[in-house]
Every structure is written in C-alpha cells, then in structure tokens.
Amino acid sequence: MSGVRVGLGTTMIEPGFTGGRLDGIGVYTQALLRHLPDADCEVAPFSWPAGNTPPSVGRAMPQSFGHATVTDLLTPGAHRIHMPLDVFHVTDYRVARMDCPVVATLHDALPIKHPEWCNPRLRGMKNWLQRKAAQKADHVIAVSHYAIEELVDCFGVDERRISVVPNGVDEEWLAPPAAGEVAATLEACGLRPGYFLFVGTLQPRKNVERLLEAYLALPRAVRDERQLVIVGNAGARSEELLRRIAAAVQNGAGVLWLNRLTDSDQLRHVYAGAGVFVFPSLYEGFGIPVVEAFASGVPVVASNLTSLPEVSAGAALEVDPLDLGAIGEAMLSLVREPALRARCITAGRARAAQLTWNATARRTAAVYRSLI
C-alpha cells in the first residue's frame, strides 16, 4: 500500500506554544513532518489548539483537514471524531477518540518514574495525557528498547502493541559544515574551538551540575585551553544550577551558557567546533544530542544509564554519571589520547549513519501500513 494519509500531532512545534525553542519531542515531530513525505506518506498537521504549522518539506501537503480543539481530547469513546485519514500519529500525548487507527509515540515514563525531576504543576497533566494516549492508541512506538519495560509497567501497554523506532539525525549532519560558517558562529558566540560541549534542556535529570563540577576540577591548564559550553533552555527545577553557572561565569572559569541558540544551522556549527561532547544524563528515553555529536565528528562521553548505552552502541566512552572522577577522567582521555579520540570519532560517525531521520520515517511508515 502506498500514499498513506497521515495526521500528525504537531503541537510541540507550534511557535505560539514553544516560543521557537524545540525540546526532544519537538525535534522528533519536526523531523517526521519533514521526512514522512519521502516515505510515501501524505502528511497533515494537527495541533491543540489550532496553530499555523508550516507545510512539510519536499512534497505538497493537503492545506487543511481541519483542526481539532483541546476539548476533543475529552471526547467519549462512543463519539469518535471523523478523520479523513488512514492513520493518526500522536507524537505529544494529545489524542482524541478518532475513527481511524491511532499510533502514539511514548518517549519515556519520566513523570511517573521520577516525579522529583518534573515540574509539579505539569506532572499530573503529563501523566494523564500519557495514560490516555496509551489507552486510546491502537499501536505504540517506543524510541528505544530500554523504554519498552517502562511503557508496560507504567502505562499498562501490551508489549505486542509496541514497535521500537529509534530517533535520528538529518543526513546533512554527516557532512562537515562550511569552515567559514562555523568560524563565524563561534566568533559571534565567543567560543574558542575545541571546547567541551553539552546540549540539552537544563533540568535535574540531565546532570549538568555534576558536569560543571567535573569541569571545574580539571587541571587549570586544560580549562584555560578548553571552555565548557552549555547549550539549552532553563527547564523545571534548574534554579540552583543557574546560580552555579552564573557564579562560574562571573569567576572567569571558562564556562559559557548559550540559552538563545534557536537556529539549527548555528547549533550544527557549535557541535562542529567542539572538542569533546559530554552527556552525563541520569535518564533518557533516547538522547538525540548524542547522535548529533556522533554525526558532527565529535568524540562523546556519555552516561551508562537507561537508553544511552543502546543508543551509543559502544561508540562513546561510557561513565557512571554519579562519579565526578569518572566524568572528568573520560573528558581528559578524549583530550590527551589521540588514538582513543580517533576511534571514538570513527565509531560515532558509523553509528550516526545508522540513525538518520530518513530511516526513522521509513520505519514509522511501516508501522502505519501494518495497521491499515
């Protein structure tokens, strides 16, 4: 079967909702919107409330199948919304009762597993939305094998209704960006090539506090040569971290926080200018920044917890994210050992080539076709 008509939940990429700053779910949603047409899918965006999602890239898209409203999320099962679609894909947990098959991507079970890391105002709503999505979906996509057990335990999803479709990276990231453009971005941001880099929302599970401590414990000569660059928006419960970052910046410790980097080309340039990427997260359903670093030819230090060993597949230096000494030692190893550095770069590029958004779109389209 070809030409699958797909409705795609796009709330998480609506500028009015996100302020132009995408989180992991937003990056995932935007990637599907761009790449599903190349997998022979006719994609229509839907958001709650109605928004102005741009047409997908590379193929004409129906101008409108209408927009559902937030009240439709409460539609009783006996009154299903008519959708002129073959399948509807919920990427952000907001799902109404529909008269076509529904696929829901459940990225993780964080609000249930670790409520202490979440915004208390939003935790209850997220739990409710995720449970409803799990109940109403005909099929569930997990972004890693690690996530399956959590989806079964926390949401009661029948494992037979779960398919694993990994996240990815745009294939253009596999080719180095123009050196002049990279240099211009680095100069504009006050960066010196070869820095340690972290990318992600600043929230407790990302473990940036320990990364900052590990960096400040490095030999002064290393810190004088290599900055610590933190890219990401302030998330829930990040107040203490922000104070520590501000203190390090004020003390001239070589720490920079880029919290207004919304241009995807600039982000790619910042990756390209890095010497080592460090991602000591305590919990990830997948971990897209690790793959972005791999594609950019940057050696990676990554946590050995949750989904990250599965995503890295041996291409990163894996460390206990609770061990400051181990984090710092791995950072130094990738600075001081050229052979190790070269091996990690080569392995990372190979791993990134396996995890592209085109591959994600093709595997996602196969899930659609299995339902219709």
**What pLDDT is recorded for position 72?**
46
pLDDT for position 71: 42
- Count CA atoms within 13 Å of residue 61 on its CB side: 24
Cα(139)–Cα(95) distance, integer angstroms: 13
The predicted pLDDT at position 55 comes to: 43
| R_g (Cα) of the chain, nearest Å | 21
- Domains, the chain, with CATH or none: 4-168+357-371 (3.40.50.2000), 171-354 (3.40.50.2000)
Average pLDDT across the chain, whole number: 88
Confidence at residue 2, expressed as pLDDT on a 0 to 100 scale: 58
Q: Which residues of the chain have pLDDT under 50?
A: 1, 53-75, 77-78
What pLDDT sits at residue 52?
52
pLDDT at residue 198, as a whole number? 98
Q: Give the residues across from 51 on adjacent strands.
A: none
Measured from the Cβ of residue 18, the count of other Cβ atoms closer than 10 Å reads 15
Task: Give the per-residue pLDDT at 136.
Answer: 86
